[in-house]
Structure 1
Amino acid sequence: MSYIDNIRTFVRVYELGNMSAAARDQRISAAVASSRISQLEDYLNVRLFQRTTRQLNATEQGHIFYSGAVKVLEAIDEAEAAVNSVTDNPRGSLFVAAPLGIGRRLIAPQIPAFKEEYPLINVRLRLSDRKLDLTAEGLDIAFYLGLPEDSALRVRKIADCPRLLCAAPDYLKRKGQPKSPDELTDGTHDCLNLRYPGAPEFQWPLQVDGETQRFAVAGPFETDDGDVLTQWALEGHGIIMKPTFEIADHLASGALVPVLTETPPVPIQLGCLYTHRRHQDPKTRLFIDHMAQHVAQSLPKAG
């Protein structure tokens, strides 16, 4: 398998453009990654990368080899998937990503049961609120909240998640209860926003008189971590818009109080993304089916 391992490492180095990043992605040391590339170059008797202290760029031979190497790895993956599909024991690793909130509260709790049912499948879960590139980051499945932008990926909708506007009682004591959504944009109230690098201008879609209206809210704090946003709201720094399942405990305890309940946010879609090729892998289908069933069932309890 060493030659195949060398090819896999080469592909990740080529795609990520960085030896250390590729090593982390492959769960190996940078020294091992470098050694694999050197072994491959020795075998092919060509230079695949031009290396300097600051940059790593593919040579012409590297570009040519990459296009063929990807096809080889795809063929191997498809062959393994075909074998797994006719056995009762699908095996291998699944690399899964999810935003922090749904990852911690909805996805992670279901993984042990999935592992118990399919003991030969290992799940590697990565949690992040930033936008992820499935191909570049070597992911099999990425869960999302909202509407996906990349039409090249396949989409599996799981559920529509209700959302609420809410704030801490101390904040409402100081600022008062908002009486209309216009107070979210005219400076009367502070809104706390979830943003990440490259995110579009943020607007809150609210249901007003049976129609969706978008309000360009603003406030003192922004973050790319949803739990940090909730903590700021708990400390009385402003109003947040959150899926109900993320704040259910705080609502039950009274630490957060719903506001503008007559003009609630539009529910947000929960789903997952995967490539067409990944869907041919039975362990991918099994994991998605498992999550679709159990996560959807857990939403009413969380909300």
Structure 2
Amino acid sequence: MAYLDNILTFVRVYELGNMSAAARDLRISAAVASSRISQLEEHLNARLFQRTTRQLNPTEQGNLFYRGAVTILEAITEAEAEVSSVTQSPRGTLYVAAPLGLGQRIIAPAVPEFCDAYPLINVRVRLSDRKLDLAAEGLDAGFFLGVPEDSNLKIRKITDCPRVLCASPDYIARRGLPAGSDELRTDKHDCLNLRYPGAPEFQWPLQSGGTTKRVTVSGPFECDHGEVLTAWALEGRGIVLKPVFEISEHLASGRLVPVLEDEPPVPIQLACLYVHRRRQDPKARLFIDFMIDVIKREMPDQLPR
């Protein structure tokens, strides 16, 4: 298993681009990760990374070995999947991702329940509102709000989540209700926007007169963390576009109030993505099925019965 551990460590270092990050991900020390890479280089008689004090870049040999290493690990995963399907005892480590709002409210709280049911599976969860590259970051599955851009991923749609434009009563008292969506294009109102690296121009898709129009919006506040946008909205800093399930308690309490109800946002797709393989890993399939049941339980008004 030592050689396989070395290969796995190499793949994680290659994908994360950082020895320390890979070590944390694998729950080993940076010294152990470095030692494994050195052992692998000695075995191959080739330098896999160019190391500087600040960067770790793969060499040409490293790029070549990575492609083969990924194939090896995928073959092992499929072989384990075959065995697990026979023994009915899935085991191993599962890497999953989810957006912050969904992850904090639904996915992460249900992980201990899943692990109690399947104690041989270790689950590592990453919560982020930025778009993740599942294959490049070594993730087995990711829950996703929106439309994925990567056609190489398999997608399992869960539901379309209603969304709402809303603001605090204090903001409305100061700035007034927008008379129409065109006012969002002007300085009459501040819009709170989710920004992540590589994000396109902010456009809110609104339903108006039976059609969908994309309204370009702007404002003084941007963040790559959806919960920060909610906090700003509660403080009266602007109008925010959110899935209803993320702010239902604030709508119920009146701390946030819907605006432009005649031009509601287009619902956003909630789906699960996973890397396409000839045979889906049983532990990933178990986790996805389990979490979809949890979502149905926690968001009963948003899913078909």
Please tell me the TM-score bracket, short chain as reference: over 0.9
Alpha-carbon distance between aligned partners in 2 of 1:60 and 1:212, rounded to the nearest angstrom: 48
- Written as runs of structure 1 = structure 2, the 5 A alignment for 1:128-143 is 128-143=128-143
On the 8 A contact 2:161/2:302 being kept in 1, the answer is no
Q: Which residue of 1 aligns with 2:10?
A: 10
Which string of whole-angstrom CA distances, capped at 9 and with x for unpartnered residues, describes residues 251-282 of structure 1?
A: 11110111111111010001111111286211
Q: Which residue of 2 aligns with 1:216?
A: 216
| Cα offset, 1:153, TM superposition | 0.7
- Could you tell me which amino acid in structure 1 is paired with residue 175 of structure 2? K
Mapped pair 1:284 → 2:260 = no
Q: For residues 278 and 16 of structure 1, do their structure 2 counterparts lie closer, same or farther at Cα, with a shift above 3 Å needed?
A: farther
Alignment TM-score, normalising by the size of structure 2: 0.93
Unpaired runs of 5+ in structure 2?
Answer: none
On the 8 A contact 1:85/1:281 being kept in 2, the answer is no
Mapped pair 1:27 → 2:27 = yes
Alpha-carbon distance between aligned partners in 1 of 2:35 and 2:111, rounded to the nearest angstrom: 35
Which string of whole-angstrom CA distances, capped at 9 and with x for unpartnered residues, describes residues 23-82 of structure 1?
A: 233222221111011112222333333333344333443333333222221221111111
Which string of whole-angstrom CA distances, capped at 9 and with x for unpartnered residues, describes residues 91-139 of structure 1?
A: 1221111111010112123323322322222221111111111122221
| Cα offset, 1:152, TM superposition | 0.8
Alpha-carbon distance between aligned partners in 1 of 2:170 and 2:96, rounded to the nearest angstrom: 39
Q: For residues 87 and 236 of structure 1, do their structure 2 counterparts lie closer, same or farther at Cα, with a shift above 3 Å needed?
A: same
Q: For residues 93 and 209 of structure 1, do their structure 2 counterparts lie closer, same or farther at Cα, with a shift above 3 Å needed?
A: same
- Written as runs of structure 1 = structure 2, the 5 A alignment for 1:80-91 is 80-91=80-91
Q: Which residue of 2 aligns with 1:125?
A: 125
For 2:130, what is the secondary structure of its paired residue? coil
Alignment TM-score, normalising by the size of structure 1: 0.94
Instruction: Report the RMSD for the aligned CA atoms in angstroms.
Output: 1.9
| Cα offset, 1:159, TM superposition | 0.8
Unpaired runs of 5+ in structure 1?
Answer: none
| Cα offset, 1:172, TM superposition | 0.6
On the 8 A contact 2:162/2:302 being kept in 1, the answer is no
- Written as runs of structure 1 = structure 2, the 5 A alignment for 1:250-261 is 250-261=250-261
- Could you tell me which amino acid in structure 2 is paired with residue 120 of structure 1? L
Q: Which residue of 1 aligns with 2:263?
A: 263
Q: For residues 238 and 301 of structure 1, do their structure 2 counterparts lie closer, same or farther at Cα, with a shift above 3 Å needed?
A: same
On the 8 A contact 1:25/1:138 being kept in 2, the answer is no
- Could you tell me which amino acid in structure 1 is paired with residue 233 of structure 2? A
On the 8 A contact 1:279/1:285 being kept in 2, the answer is no
Q: Which runs of 4+ in 1 moved over 4 A?
A: none
For 2:245, what is the secondary structure of its paired residue? helix
On the 8 A contact 1:248/1:302 being kept in 2, the answer is no
Q: For residues 269 and 302 of structure 1, do their structure 2 counterparts lie closer, same or farther at Cα, with a shift above 3 Å needed?
A: closer
Alpha-carbon distance between aligned partners in 2 of 1:204 and 1:65, rounded to the nearest angstrom: 44
- Could you tell me which amino acid in structure 2 is paired with residue 68 of structure 1? G
Alpha-carbon distance between aligned partners in 2 of 1:196 and 1:213, rounded to the nearest angstrom: 23
Q: For residues 188 and 51 of structure 1, do their structure 2 counterparts lie closer, same or farther at Cα, with a shift above 3 Å needed?
A: closer
Alpha-carbon distance between aligned partners in 2 of 1:93 and 1:269, rounded to the nearest angstrom: 28
- Written as runs of structure 1 = structure 2, the 5 A alignment for 1:28-107 is 28-107=28-107
On the 8 A contact 1:98/1:128 being kept in 2, the answer is yes
| Cα offset, 1:301, TM superposition | 5.5
